[in-house]
A and B are shown apart, each in its own frame.
Chain A
């Protein structure tokens, strides 16, 4: 049995979680997920400014804190912290090791960045069509900011095979981070579909950190103990594919069949076809059982042959947006916010401003659910203590979006009474970086695995 922990569900997750995972109990592997879909474009921008940047710097700071513990406890680390510059991330980690006088073997998994090869692909008829709309990439080629293939667990397992203690990747699937050590330790073959599916489902369960250990958990949420000290998840993986999800003893939160089910269904499409580069996992074959306090056992998982494609994550510039907020209090809070919305629309119209999209929402009335069943009733509406008008515009024309932002602050003095919460004044204009999912034949791209031993 090996213990594989997740210490980071997204870039911006708890800085303490990975440290606690390392120090509060036994562990063999620590995995960390830093890359969301739009993160790559932000990192691409950073690398354009400075060729030494373009990765998750939080990861390097974390390694600096725990490197002696990792060595002492023989814990190996797998992180997609490399972003668009995994080599620079690796160099930063090795520099930390040098400064601490510690020898460490790090490896980089790269080859996922296909930004420079896009025109070559397009000229050869590899269309990189949008998986949702069917549109060819050529339609937005000029706006592309980053393009990365999602690799699977194989190249990561290969890095472990070569003896890496820290594996830094660019774009790999979130599930690959946890599956790779199982492939490495148990010698699972490329066509061991059931076991690969089991490892993939284990990876999916822990990829969002504490979302499977009682965090963001709806069922009986008030009774979940000690969320302040919530334990992040640990997979106890077995060679035949069965596994237990648990957390370190003494930590807060709760691991139950219910808490785990919520995470299993998170970001789910067809439950019989969870597609990764490693296999197709069938979520309708999972058997769950409570195997003691804070222990859920998974068994019976079946998988199928992987597809011949990698998914590609492309980010592109898609215009500009700005969102303004105005706070109205009792009496007539909702009516006043509605009146302000109408006035704002009239003013934008008089200015001749055109947008691709305009949207008004009323926080405190029905902004989140937005469904008819959640509208404030005529009995409740006059008593609402406050309502926030949240008004956003989106369009290609930056000047028009900029002009819109100038129409928000005046409403405090020349619109319905009384506006609060204007804060720093006018809203900021943001460039929109949107996401373009596509597929590419596996034969078109090869992962590159490089071992970088520190030299002291």
Chain B
């Protein structure tokens, strides 16, 4: 097992709905998808965004796209126009997730 940074194996895009951020995480090659499924769990994402995501993290599998979709609840300081954040829509949460280090065989 070796540690690799997620950005080597995946790309991503994030969006917002109110105070919830969604991050779509896409395997760069379909053979990486099972690794993402195994390593990038909802619990790990919640831990990674400690202090940023104050609610729960949900994970959805999209195997046909080799992708996972995460919903980070209470992650945008109230969301939309209420947020005082420099990134009120969490557009950069996609790349924040790609910083994560995972175990690869």
By the criterion CB–CB under 8 Å, are B65 and A435 in contact?
Answer: no
By the criterion CB–CB under 8 Å, are B69 and A432 in contact?
Answer: no
**Chain B interface residue number, banded:** 35 or more
Question: Which chain B residues border A285 with CB–CB below 8 Å?
Answer: 64
Query: Interface 1/0s, chain A 233-247, versus B by CB < 8 A?
Result: 000000000000000
Dominant SS among interface residues on chain A: mixed
**Chain A interface residue number, banded:** 35 or more
Query: Interface 1/0s, chain A 375-411, versus B by CB < 8 A?
Result: 0000000000000001011100000000000000000
Dominant SS among interface residues on chain B: mixed
Report, nearest first, the 4 A-B pairs whose CB atoms are least far apart: A265-B24, A392-B84, A267-B15, A369-B96
Is B99 part of the binding interface, using a Cβ–Cβ cutoff of 8 Å? yes
By the criterion CB–CB under 8 Å, are B87 and A262 in contact?
Answer: no
User: Would you give the shortest CB distance from B65 to chain A, in whole angstroms?
Assistant: 5
By the criterion CB–CB under 8 Å, are B80 and A435 in contact?
Answer: yes
Give B contacts to A, CB under 8 Å: 11-20, 22, 24, 26, 28, 48-52, 60-67, 69, 71, 77-82, 84-87, 92-96, 99-100
User: Which A residues from 262 to 294 make CB contacts under 8 A with B?
Assistant: 262-272, 283-288
By the criterion CB–CB under 8 Å, are A434 and B99 in contact?
Answer: no
By the criterion CB–CB under 8 Å, are B96 and A371 in contact?
Answer: yes
Among A216, A218, A270, which residue has the most Cβ atoms of chain B within 10 A? Answer: A218
User: Would you give the shortest CB distance from A331 to chain B, in whole angstroms?
Assistant: 24
* A368 contact from B26, B48, B96, Cβ within 8 A: B96
By the criterion CB–CB under 8 Å, are A262 and B48 in contact?
Answer: no
By the criterion CB–CB under 8 Å, are A218 and B95 in contact?
Answer: yes
A266 to B15, CA, bound (A): 5
By the criterion CB–CB under 8 Å, are A269 and B22 in contact?
Answer: yes
By the criterion CB–CB under 8 Å, are B11 and A323 in contact?
Answer: no
Q: A219-B11, A261-B26 are in contact. Are A373 and B99 (CB under 8 A)?
A: yes
- Closest residue of chain B to A257 (Cβ to Cβ) is B65
A373 to B45, CA, bound (A): 12
A1 to B24, CA, bound (A): 31
By the criterion CB–CB under 8 Å, are A434 and B17 in contact?
Answer: no
Is A306 part of the binding interface, using a Cβ–Cβ cutoff of 8 Å? no
Is A84 part of the binding interface, using a Cβ–Cβ cutoff of 8 Å? no
A337 to B92, CA, bound (A): 22
By the criterion CB–CB under 8 Å, are B82 and A371 in contact?
Answer: no
By the criterion CB–CB under 8 Å, are A261 and B96 in contact?
Answer: no
By the criterion CB–CB under 8 Å, are A265 and B13 in contact?
Answer: yes
A370 to B78, CA, bound (A): 16
Question: Which chain B residues border A304 with CB–CB below 8 Å?
Answer: none
A268 to B87, CA, bound (A): 18
- Closest residue of chain A to B28 (Cβ to Cβ) is A219
User: Would you give the shortest CB distance from A302 to chain B, in whole angstroms?
Assistant: 11
A-B contact pairs, 14 of them (CB 8 A): A219-B28, A258-B11, A261-B24, A264-B24, A265-B13, A269-B22, A283-B62, A285-B64, A286-B65, A287-B64, A369-B99, A371-B96, A372-B50, A435-B18
